[in-house]
Structure 1
Amino acid sequence: MRVFPATVTPDGRRIVGARALRGLVDGFVSVLLASYLSDAGFSPFQVSAIVTGTLLGSAVLTLGIGLMGYGIHRRTLLLISCGLMCATGLGFVTITAFWPLLLVAIVGTMNPSSGDVSVFLPVEQALLAEAAEDHDRTALFARYNLGGLFAAAVGSLSVGAPLALGVALGATRVDAQRWSFLVYAVVAVALLWLYLGLRSEQQAGRGASSPLRESRSIVFRLSALFSLDSFGGGFVVQSLLTLWLFERFDLSVEVAGAIFFVAGLLSALSQLAAPRLAARIGLVNTMVFTHLPANGLLMAAAFMPNAYLAVGCLLTRMLFSSMDVPARQSYTMSVVPPAERAAAASVTNVPRSLAAALAPLGAGAMLEATSFGWPLIVGGAIKATYDILLWLQFRSVPPRAAGTAEAPSSAPAERR
């Protein structure tokens, strides 16, 4: 059995490896962040403000790449991002006051979600879309996401290890968690080495003041819908779900890490089914009909009377919630010309990051008022609305690459 599709280039393999490494540290800090800030005495609203800062910073950085990165080698953009990532980790180690820490969150690359909302994403997606033939694209994106999700699960589980080590060495619980952010900086150095090995010398764009031309309309429509989904997701990023579990059921960081480890494994396993499902029923149907049940389970978790039932809903949700991701990425890349893919990746990801950044403050205010799962209900309802609108608007818009195995033009939901 092949690990990668037959047509994947060495750069494609290296990018998937980098995504797994970032997933490892993202899963680690997504649980650590809420635990550390809570133990350090920050209120739920302050925790959500820092989470908002991380998402807002990612959006601004991604926008900068979209607006000013054209003409710069993609590898150079990734290397610069690694330097900023290292500085972010060191900032969380050395700074303890709220306002300076908020500034680090805004200008840095910290990801409060086990999913990928980082500045690396649009550059990697554009490179990945060119790293395999059209018929292998969805499978490659599935491996890309699968590696990140498996690694994020391991990162979530391992969050207790440096904490236990620090306490054993005589550090306080808060200091042990603070020094754990060094892991984030070390991984940034490892990523730097990986990206240095990229062979592609393509640039993010050349000489076009308006890189989106032929696909402008469809990309803007997709961007608006993806932003709605991301806004809903901002209420339930993993750091805030961790905070809700702390506030509602008084779970420990070690238990939360174990829960998100299992959640990550389930989410990763679901990615394996995405390419076959997309080939069978179409990319848009895959995005919608796997996402809707997941959002219903998210809302149901808010009403559960104990931790066992709530966690059961959240874990069952993870069997479906990420299956749409490779389908969404592949569909976006397939409905635009190859020359416009880098711009499309940036334009669709920047509004998603901005929309996600708006939600955590509201979620934090809800959690400060009550431990009931209002963020889960609001987030789930918004995401379900996105699913319905996406199906209504794009069920008849097929990919450009007609007749491929990943999304045949004869699929019932995507026939003109």
Structure 2
Amino acid sequence: MTAVLTRPAPRVPLPRTPAPPSAPPGRDPFIDVLRLFGMALVVLQHWSMPVLSFSGTEITTGNALASGNAWMITWISQVMPLVFFAGGAANAISRRGAVRRGTAAPAWLAARLRRLVLPVLPLAAVWIPLPHLLLALGLPEQPVVTASRLAGQLLWFLAIYLVAVAATPLMLRLNTLYGLRVPAALMAGAVAVDVLRFSSGLEIAGFPNIVLVWLAVHQLGFLYADGRLSRPWVMAAAGYGLAALLVAFGPYPGSMIGMPGAEMSNMAPPTLALLAVGVGQIGLAVALRRGITGLAALPMAARVLTWAGPRMMTVYLWHMSALFTVTAVVVVGLGVSTPEPGTSAWLSGWPHWLVMLALALWPLLRAFTRFEEKDSAAPYRGGTVRIAVAAVLAGTGLLTLTVFGFVPGWAPALGAAALLAALLLARSARVRRPDGATTA
């Protein structure tokens, strides 16, 4: 997730959003900022939402955004569409650069797969034995099982993103041939899926949208990389306007994240309403591109981007572990419940809560960022079938950990084993030649 982004020569310029003269050569700071902004908001939302109390044996969890009209915040704070959009632009830029260097699609996919899978293995190595240890030390079972399950749920994003990465070579060819018609077809498919889902009453009928919705916004990233996303203000107005109509007159809830006790969620599986908000977010971001890239050119912002770039995956994977650590000490250990959301006690305590979480995250970053560093494995020399098997194993492992988390049992170990097997298949061993040189 930290590959250097090389801006391609656009087919059609972006007349309203040219890059500022101070933009660093060979990078697109706009995409860098979007990825950092997206991950920062994910962490901030996850750290700010929980409403926690402990009864002595069980921990009760609520959502601060479920009170009043706070759900409106999710139309901005639910940034996964922006993250997939930025990922699409990054994958298009990376794949086209690989083509110019003569790198075949299997080798490119192997490198991307390794970068996604490797940071997950230390998370599994810590969390698979941790629940057993905590239970053996006498901690209450329900809080331990709850934390163990939630620690793996974050991996849904990597599982779906892996699908988008694996599909990038094919979707790029379709983008070259058909352009805007590709995301339009994916969006039309999402409409058909929602119609079937709500007319039949079968929740399972909505699951194809897990692929259709996220591939649609990922495909818009390709159009941005081509310089073909014009009229962004129209996109923003159309996206947010359609979302408002769907929520006001359709079966969709207002929140773009799952809420406790809600009959349905716009996220699981994703709905047309979430897709509309995503289009609105992308249009708004592209419309503000000039200001965003100008901000990124400031020395302080550039230093933040440089520091955060190689750590974004690590922050994403471990920020919930920091939340569990602070919760175990403050809520479970000391018996201090979080205040009622929106009250003066909540507002005054929120900054202190964030500071404690950041301090808990810092040693985790120091310990595990190394697994996100630049890939030093030998270039992949295997074929298409081998890397396809690796991708299937990686996706299976990530989905297993998403569904079961790290709750004690066989599932977490099997999921981690699938990830390890995928990583091994995506690597090529270094062999020593008779002259002493090392090659792949």
TMscore range, shorter length:
0.3 to 0.5
Give the TM-score taking structure 1 as reference length: 0.34
- Structure that is richer in helix per residue: 1
Q: Which has the larger radius of gyration?
A: 2
TM-score under structure 2 length normalisation? 0.33
